[in-house]
Amino acid sequence: GNSVTQMEGPVTLSEEAFLTINCTYTATGYPSLFWYVQYPGEGLQLLLKATKADDKGSNKGFEATYRKETTSFHLEKGSVQVSDSAVYFCAQLNTGTASKLTFGTGTRLQVTL
Amino acid sequence: EAGVTQSPTHLIKTRGQQATLRCSPISGHTSVYWYQQALGLGLQFLLWYDEGEERNRGNFPPRFSGRQFPNYSSELNVNALELEDSALYLCASSLGAGARETQYFGPGTRLLVL
């Protein structure tokens, strides 16, 4: 079946450090891939997306590249800020899943001064 | 442009009662989705409505039901509430259906069952 695996958190970084959150997926066919972010006490916000292999999604300094050969969609940011502290969810949307988003378990990021 | 809105923001019920949660999609969006985010269980798909019809359902009992109105807004009803129904319920909408349509989420309704 379709699934998404994220690295376990929490991830604790100092401000201005480099961030990588790993995400891999299993899927039949060619899913669209997403990163959503959830700030404390809030709903999910779309951070970025990619709909086909080799696409790069980017937003607010975050980037992720759709890698079909490694079935990965790792999230990166060159210099994190305290305001980036949140839970990050990787997700896929597959043509075979009748519009159901399949989420990873989420990775909590804590950025300190 | 207004995003997805949900009401109420918080809801407290007792076991056995019924809860009704509401969602208004982004203007022009015809598909509405419901997800449950329970502590320790992650984000789980509940229901998908498109053009007024239920299109897909997650692995939840029949006491979870809903509907979509002609203006594309939606209600989620949970009957015979159980303690484990306590969760954040997230609504999302998309322009259409399919693997290329992005789902945009609302702020959620936090349901507490006592």
Say whether pLDDT at B54 is over 70: yes
Give A43's strand partners.
none
In the predicted model, what is the mean pLDDT of residues A60-64?
Answer: 97
Chain A contact for B89, CB < 8 A? Answer: no
Q: What is the pLDDT of residue B75?
A: 98
Tell me the residue ranges of DSSP E strands in chain A: 3-6, 11-14, 19-21, 23-26, 32-38, 44-50, 56-59, 62-65, 75-77, 86-93, 101-103, 107-112
Say whether pLDDT at B64 is over 80: yes
> What is d(CA A33, CA A20) in angstroms, rounded to the nearest whole number?
16
Tell me how far the alpha carbon of residue B108 is from its chain's centroid: 8
Q: What is the pLDDT of residue A96?
A: 63
Render pLDDT for A34-52 as a digit per residue (tens, 0 to 9).
999 999 888 999 999 999 9
Cβ–Cβ below 8 Å for B43 and A89: yes
Which parts of chain A fold into alpha helices (H)?
Answer: none
Render pLDDT for B20-39 as a digit per residue (tens, 0 to 9).
999 999 999 999 999 999 98
pLDDT band at B41 (very low <50, low <70, confident <90, very high): confident
Q: What is the pLDDT of residue B99?
A: 64
Render pLDDT for B65-114 as a digit per residue (tens, 0 to 9).
999 999 999 999 999 999 999 999 999 999 987 767 899 999 999 999 99
Q: Which of B42, B55, B107 sits opposite A43 (nearest CB)?
A: B107
Chain A contact for B105, CB < 8 A? Answer: yes
Length of chain B: 114
> What is d(CA A7, CA A21) in angstroms, rounded to the nearest whole number?
6
Q: What is the pLDDT of residue A29?
A: 80
Q: Nearest CA to CA, how far is A66 from chain B (Å)? A: 14
Give residues with Cβ within 8 angstroms of A53, minimum separation 6. A30, A66, A67, A68
Q: What are phi and psi of A96, to 5 degrees?
A: -90, 5
Tell me how far the alpha carbon of residue B13 is from its chain's centroid: 17
Q: What is the pLDDT of residue A97?
A: 59
Render pLDDT for A68-101 as a digit per residue (tens, 0 to 9).
999 999 999 999 999 999 999 999 997 665 678 9
In the predicted model, what is the mean pLDDT of residues A20-29?
Answer: 93
Q: What is the pLDDT of residue A30?
A: 83
Q: What is the pLDDT of residue A99?
A: 77
Query: Which of B36, B46, B102 has the highest number of chain A CBs within 10 A, making it the mutation to test binding with A?
Result: B102
